[in-house]
Structure 1
């Protein structure tokens, strides 16, 4: 038994799985043999020749075995060729990387390897202390319609630019499942390489007055409107579209085939994703898929058109934001992974952790852990493929953004992986090639936004290992400091002046209660309603103490007992006076709304991602109370 245990530990270490881990309370935990074995059985950890190295300019890069000290050639991306000397030091051969950032080829004696040379840091924020807001695109009412789209986002960017905002943050706009209106969560995408076509502008819309989005009716309506637009393309427009489609190549073709096949089988069989399809369709290169593609070329072309329309809409919104005077512009959001039954998992199966989902281990907020039901890029596939899947993912998210927020940034370092079908606490941490991914991120951030560069924000909330935030700060990645979570060692709220200067300041995120909702206990009411019970008196008493603590830190004068308006004003003034270079105030807090966009841990118990704003932004931002909050942000 001891030998078996020793062999299991050896296999786990070789694969980058941690047998021991530290929980949110600082206590050591140990992964069971059963969980470790189940994960190892699903990992394709096969090794391959090292094809990718990375480093920073003027620093040594260690080379694998087989390289010798002496002259070599570095072929730059531009095609230029540099003569370099590989030195022998400390028993290893090393290249002193020149300060030529990018992806180059090192060659010697018929051997070659990609060498990524990164700048020392991601691009810094613009000089000064700036502010922005965050919106859920479907919540916007600009342009009418059943929900907001990229055309609505353009008009919202104009309104915020006039108000003095430097940035406008949005939730992920990754591709979803166009034929399945039930799958509207932006954090469980079908693909991170393409866009959510439901957000593609599709002509004039009929004004919809509902407070909640009816995705079951709205999503099919948008596809019908897009189909009308596709059929009405002029010859000139069709030529532009076809040229764009050809430029996108195999990746777009595979994605459009998936969408067409998914739409066909979802209507015919009710299949929600590719594992539920008939077996012959599981192979993207198989005869059944080739035959389907030949018979349904028009449908495939339509889904490619929908992607083009979405891409143009997002590009136009980004250009509008810059034209409105925003020095940062749109801040895009990169989801941590993709659905295991979506387009990426079907057409690029070898890129992903097949048979495993990702989530979070048990902690005080989630005693049973979290299984997000999505998968992620495999660290072993990244090594085998020279990190091409990660590079392409970053280029998709950076394409039009002046900033990118990386959801669950710890995922660059390690992932909590769970065997499919197992509960969340039966997982383990899997190491990611953090150093390589960080350097690639720095290269792509400098190239982003059509060469203008983009800031990078890493979501570093929750259980974070010691030193992780320091590594992010050294790389120029801004952390997130969110009002409810900024506490001292005794649990009290930190004065805003003491917040971390290498982070953005926020009053809330889409996953936590709004300031007004928190003050009124709206989140407690929701949890009680879902549990079909009254609000727990202990929870209510605890919230009373928390309110007193917050007001003692931020407020002035007597604590307002019921009206949250002074608290919202104080919270916005607080994030405005932190040393953070950028303050983001979600539109829900600018408007002092009670309800939050998303309640984590719920599916249909709470109207996640369905809420609409009460009006268009121009009149909302001109309301005296809102204008006063904007004036506070501009003055600070």
Structure 2
């Protein structure tokens, strides 16, 4: 099997790896064979290389001489290349072209570090659909977000971290998870706010839980009415937006229009003649249903306008404003998988290996950008993805940032345990993030939780990408909680995330109640363990270990005193709510992504207990 192992290593597949417990693991040969058969390692015609400002640039295959460099702005200059194929350092951030002899390269030059938050400030994290405003709405949208951003800014927050706004599936209202998008190149049009163009907003059922199938169907119907009434008035602005976004937007709109007509889980369920975006059948459809495609282009414009409006509302009061969230991958059956199929890994899905929190591993059922395709296309899809995320944001949180260096890939038909790590071009991906963050003057938060490979956190810190220090996970080698005052300074301090129990819920064991209800069995050991954990946390924050009610104010104050420049608190913790937005490992057993806030944001912030907390945060972290 020596040849197999050598081929796997050459492809970037890691045969040997270390699990979360520090135990060495080895991937079975059958898994390596299956994964190798799914990788297209055709080399790029024009290599893409990257470096930071002031660092030498290694040019594979180049020989000594004077290269012709064309900067991004079109200016030219000579650049010496050594006998070792190393070009002299550059001080111009951006994407440039270099030619020497018969070789041609794309050169990405990044700043040494990403922009940093100033002073000591605080922010809030929210799920956009959960928000309420003064309207009777089935779910929050970009207009609701703008109102919330203004309210949080007035309360002293410097940032508002939001759930992903990636494009979902307007034709399939059952797929509402923001982390399994149709495309990350465009936005979720179902959150578009018609009132932004002075169109009426419909009265909708506004319950405590979002009824996504009925709510999205009704909202789409209303948005069609808005399009029919307003398209002519807004046509010039929409046409200019479409020209700016180019063919990718047209293809995305065609996908959404086709999906509305053909149904199914996505393009693999469509008749064969529609599965190829360049087929005559698709071209005929585009001609015969031009107005339907224009409708979805209009919705993308309206979504873009809504996010721009929300960021402007945020920046009137906030130093950072919106912090966008970047999901790790996309649904292969979605728009990106249809229109730019070769961009994505094929025949595999991504996930996580077995660990103590998930003994069977995790298969997320989504795909990711193919590292070899990235090289062949000049990393265009990744550049556009980051640019889209930062278009109207002052920050970016990268979900599962470990995936920048390597991804756990699982062959179709296999279990999550039947996977292996695939090496990604981490240096180049991080340099691209830094370039785009520099251009947007945006901070970068890299989610570095879970099985973190050695050296990753040091690398993120060196690049100015902030890690995440989340209260439930900050423990020493004995499992005891570490006081927030001792957390890392180069990471965002947090009481929780959308995947963790709220502070009040954790203290009361609400997450344990949910697990017991779902499994149908009670685990006495988990309750005993939680009591011990509460005692450990009490000691870490300096309160009595016999406290029965959740010490929410004390915990928030302790986290506010962490050395991080930015501390972010889920809105659920700011309000003292017990239920969490998402319970990992569940689908319909728990109302994931369906919970709404109890009132409009300004009313919530006016509550005495919430005012007390925001005042405390602003005193501890004045910005």
* 1:182-218 deviation line (CA, Å, top 9, x unaligned): 0000000000000101100123231533110000111
* 1:502-525 deviation line (CA, Å, top 9, x unaligned): 000000100010000000100000
CA contact (8 A) 2:273 2:279 kept: yes
CA contact (8 A) 2:65 2:100 kept: no
Structure 1 residue 294: deviation in Å?
A: 1.5
Structure 1 residue 438: deviation in Å?
A: 1.2
2:282 to 273, 289, 298: 289
Residue correspondences, number: 614
CA contact (8 A) 2:504 2:578 kept: yes
Is it true that 1:445 corresponds to 2:442 in the alignment?
Answer: no
* 1:132-153 deviation line (CA, Å, top 9, x unaligned): 0011111111133111000000
Matched residue, 1:584: 568
Is it true that 1:310 corresponds to 2:306 in the alignment?
Answer: no
Matched residue, 2:323: 331
SS in 1 for 2:403: helix
* 1:16-52 deviation line (CA, Å, top 9, x unaligned): 0000110011111111111111111111112233521
Runs of 4+, deviation exceeding 6 Å:
none
1:153 to 135, 145, 151: 145
CA contact (8 A) 1:135 1:169 kept: yes
Is it true that 1:551 corresponds to 2:535 in the alignment?
Answer: no
Matched residue, 1:368: 360
CA contact (8 A) 2:535 2:545 kept: no
CA–CA distance in structure 2, aligned partners of residues 556 and 42 of structure 1: 55
Structure 1 residue 73: deviation in Å?
A: 1.7
CA contact (8 A) 2:139 2:206 kept: no
CA–CA distance in structure 2, aligned partners of residues 630 and 205 of structure 1: 33
Is it true that 1:57 corresponds to 2:57 in the alignment?
Answer: no
Matched residue, 2:605: 621
CA contact (8 A) 1:362 1:369 kept: yes
2:578 to 569, 575, 594: 594
CA–CA distance in structure 2, aligned partners of residues 364 and 577 of structure 1: 30
Structure 1 residue 419: deviation in Å?
A: 0.8
Matches within 5 A, 1:446-525: 446-448=438-440, 453-525=441-513
Matched residue, 1:86: 81
SS in 1 for 2:13: coil
Structure 1 residue 557: deviation in Å?
A: 4.0
Structure 2 unmatched ranges of 5 or more = 195-199
Matched residue, 1:224: 221
CA–CA distance in structure 2, aligned partners of residues 165 and 264 of structure 1: 44
2:95 to 86, 95, 103: 103
Structure 1 residue 457: deviation in Å?
A: 0.2
CA–CA distance in structure 2, aligned partners of residues 51 and 304 of structure 1: 34
Structure 1 residue 238: deviation in Å?
A: 1.5
Matches within 5 A, 1:141-180: 141-142=132-133, 143-180=135-172
Structure 1 residue 558: deviation in Å?
A: 6.0
CA–CA distance in structure 2, aligned partners of residues 248 and 241 of structure 1: 11
TM-score in terms of structure 2 length: 0.97
* 1:64-87 deviation line (CA, Å, top 9, x unaligned): 22x332222211111111122112
CA–CA distance in structure 1, aligned partners of residues 54 and 454 of structure 2: 28
CA contact (8 A) 1:35 1:426 kept: yes
SS in 1 for 2:318: coil
2:68 to 46, 50, 73: 73
CA contact (8 A) 1:48 1:384 kept: yes
CA contact (8 A) 2:183 2:336 kept: yes
Mean Cα deviation higher: 521-530 or 291-300: 291-300
Structure 1 residue 246: deviation in Å?
A: 2.2
CA–CA distance in structure 1, aligned partners of residues 296 and 371 of structure 2: 31
Matches within 5 A, 1:208-357: 208-233=205-230, 235-266=232-263, 271-323=264-316, 325-357=317-349
Matches within 5 A, 1:529-568: 529-533=517-521, 535-557=522-544, 559-561=546-548, 563-564=549-550, 567-568=551-552
TM-align CA RMSD: 1.1
1:606 to 586, 590, 599: 590
Matched residue, 1:10: 6
Matched residue, 1:197: 189
SS in 2 for 1:417: strand
Matched residue, 1:131: 122
Against the structure 1 CA distance between its residues 557 and 6, is the aligned structure 2 distance closer, same or farther, given a 3 Å change threshold?
A: closer
CA–CA distance in structure 1, aligned partners of residues 75 and 43 of structure 2: 32
Structure 1 residue 108: deviation in Å?
A: 2.4
CA contact (8 A) 1:50 1:64 kept: no
CA–CA distance in structure 1, aligned partners of residues 520 and 20 of structure 2: 29
SS in 2 for 1:209: coil
* 1:283-321 deviation line (CA, Å, top 9, x unaligned): 110111111111111111111111111111011001110
SS in 2 for 1:493: coil
Structure 1 unmatched ranges of 5 or more = none
2:35 to 30, 35, 39: 39
Structure 1 residue 532: deviation in Å?
A: 1.4
Structure 1 residue 482: deviation in Å?
A: 0.4
